[in-house]
Each structure stands twice: as structure tokens, then as C-alpha cells.
Amino acid sequence: MAYLISKPLTLVAFMALGLAGCNNSSQTANDAAPADDAAAPTTEAAANSNGTLQKIKDSGTIVVGYRDSSIPFSYIADDPSQPMGYAHDLEMKVVEAVKEKLNMPDLNVRYNLITSQTRIPLVQNGTVDFECGSTTNNEERQKQVAFSNGFFEIGTRLLTKTDSGIQDFEDLKGKTLVTTAGTTSERYIRQYNDEKQMDTNIISAKDHGEGFLMLENGRADAFMMDDVLLAGEKAKAKNPDEWVIVGTPQSFEIYGCMMRKDDPEFKAVVDEALANTFSSGEINSIYDKWFLNPIPPKNVNLNFEMSDNLKALIANPHDSDQPKNAAQ
């Protein structure tokens, strides 16, 4: 089985060079992908003509989107060719389900890097077959892509220094805040800043890792993002005790795996793979592995207990963008 890890081109270069050349990295975890993979259908039309399962069967490869800094969901640690994380483990459950569905035990798996800004277009145009990372299911995105049943629920909060004096969102007045570009947090905080006339200087980072680096280097006073992602950034800090997560959650959001719209057969495989992981109880060991035990790269324990909301979501899976049991 070949595992190829590749990074996305910019959309301009992507269109200029053609979809066939989008996976141009030579890094592999084992062997290189078969030569005829480059000729596999990767356009949106090809992906949707016979559905994602047929696309995968025809190409002999499933293309999996991954993040490089969404700790502990999908990220890169010591091995640049091997994503890891809670969502990545669930993603691999889907891959195994696809192999079984297609009776293709030797199906090739290709990893394709996505970011907050590129993940939707790369799923839409067929470059990526699906992704499970830290993507919020919301009404706006549902117009562009489909979502699986949810696998995590978060609240949006702030990460700041313990001595910053920032305790909640109203304390951001006149301060500098960083958030990740292309996220629901970015859209929310800009609207909040305008409506409340906070005079907050908002800067956007390309990913969560860059966002925390800006905070750590003093370019920002606080970092707004999903609480569990903030816990991940805190865990990899030089001195985690210098940082604290604060603030009343401004929203409760559900993460789901993202795939192309209007492909019920593929969505059914994804949902069933997640449902089986939930109902078997295996989800508990996967959760404990990433949230209640030391994790790479620094072997820090996030100590992030499973919330009652997530327990309810696991017990009664759904693909709604709205939490059905949140205590907000």
C-alpha cells in the first residue's frame, strides 16, 4: 500500500497547471503512488459523475485531507509524512470502511494538506475525497459541501498570558487579537468588534500554529479559537503554565467530516464508519489517547475531559449544524 503526502497549490496555480498536477510532492511514507494516479479523474465533474466511491475505485486511491497544526485533531509532529490525531484516527476508520465497501484491501491512501482557507475548494473540486479535521459544520458551509455526523463539539474562547489582565471578550477593547483566517472565529470576532465598537486590532494567521506564534512573540494579546485547539497550542508552548484559556464561549460548534455534496452513497459509508466506532465504545479509547494522555510532539497531557455535550452527540449521532444538547 502506498502513502503519499502532498501539499495544495494556490488556487491560481492550481487552475493554471491543471488538476492532474496538484499532488506534486515526492515525500512518501512507504512506496510512491502508482504512476497512473496522475491520470486519475480529479475534477469536480469527474468526482461527481459517478460518485466518490466510483472515483476511488477507478483511480485505486483515496485522497484524504489533513491539517498540519490542528492539535490534537489532525497535525504533523515528528514525521512530516504521517498525519496524526483524534480526527485522523477517525478518518482512518472511514478509509477502512471504504476498503471493505469496495473490496479493495490494498487501496492506496494519499494524504493532501489542507488549510482553513483551502479545505472547501479542495473538497469541492475533487482534489480531496474527504477530510476529518477541525472543520465546523454550519449552515453557510452546508451550501457548498456535505458533512458527516458530528464527532466533536467545542466552544470558542480566548488563549492569553496568565498575567495579561484579559478575562473575557469585553477585555479585548483596544487590544490586539489574533485568530485563524477562514474560520468561524474570524468571522464572529470581526462582527463582534464592529457591533461593540471595541477598537480591537484583529490580525489573521494562516493556521493555528502561526496564530499561537504571534501570541507567544507578543504580536497579539490574545488568540481566539475553538477551546480544544487552544488547549492544543498551550500544550506545545515552551512553558504551558504561562498561558490560560479564558472567556465565556461565544458559540458552540460541531466538527464533522467534510465531503462533496449530493453523494449520499459515500456519505452513508462515512456516517456508518463513525457510528460503528461510537457504538462499539472504541471512541472512548481514541478520545483518551488524544485528550487524557501525553501526546506528541512534547508528550504533554491536554487533560481535556469529554464534555456532556460530546457524550450526548456520541450516543445520538446527527449531522445537524446545531448542537441539540448544548448547555449554552
Q: Output the DSSP codes for 182-250.
A: TSHHHHHHHHHHHHHT---EEEEESSHHHHHHHHHTTS-SEEEEEHHHHHHHHHTSSSGGGEEEES--S
Residue 39 pLDDT level (bands cut at 50, 70, 90): very low
Percent of the chain with pLDDT over 70: 84
pLDDT at 284 exceeding the cut of 70: yes
Task: Report domain extents, the chain.
Answer: 3-152+253-315, 156-252
More confident: 17 or 264: 264
Report how far residue 148's alpha carbon sits from residue 137's, in angstroms, rounded to the nearest whole number.
Answer: 9
Residues 72-93: what's their mean pLDDT? 96
Inform me whether the pLDDT recorded for 84 exceeds 60: yes
pLDDT at 50: 79
- pLDDT value at position 99? 98
Secondary structure element (H or E) that encloses residue 66, with its range: strand 61-66
**Residue 83 clears pLDDT 90, i.e. is over it:** yes
Mean pLDDT, rounded, for 196-201: 97
* CATH number of the 156-252 domain: 3.40.190.10
Q: Do domains 3-152+253-315 and 156-252 have the same CATH topology?
A: yes
What homologous superfamily does CATH list for 3-152+253-315? Periplasmic binding protein-like II (3.40.190.10)
What would the mean pLDDT of 37-44 be, rounded to a whole number? Answer: 40
Q: What is the pLDDT of residue 1?
A: 54
Which pLDDT score is estimated for 79? 95
Residue 2 has pLDDT above 70, yes or no: no
State the pLDDT confidence band at 326, using cuts at 50, 70 and 90: very low
- How many Cα atoms occupy the beta-carbon half-sphere of 280 within 13 Å? 11
What's the pLDDT score for residue 13?
Answer: 40
Lowest mean pLDDT among 26-40, 85-99, 147-161: 26-40
- Section 131-150 average pLDDT: 97
pLDDT at 118 over 80: yes
pLDDT band at 248 (very low <50, low <70, confident <90, very high): very high
pLDDT value of position 20: 34
Task: Give the model's pLDDT for residue 29.
Answer: 36
Average pLDDT of the chain to the nearest whole number: 87
The SS3 call for residue 110 is strand
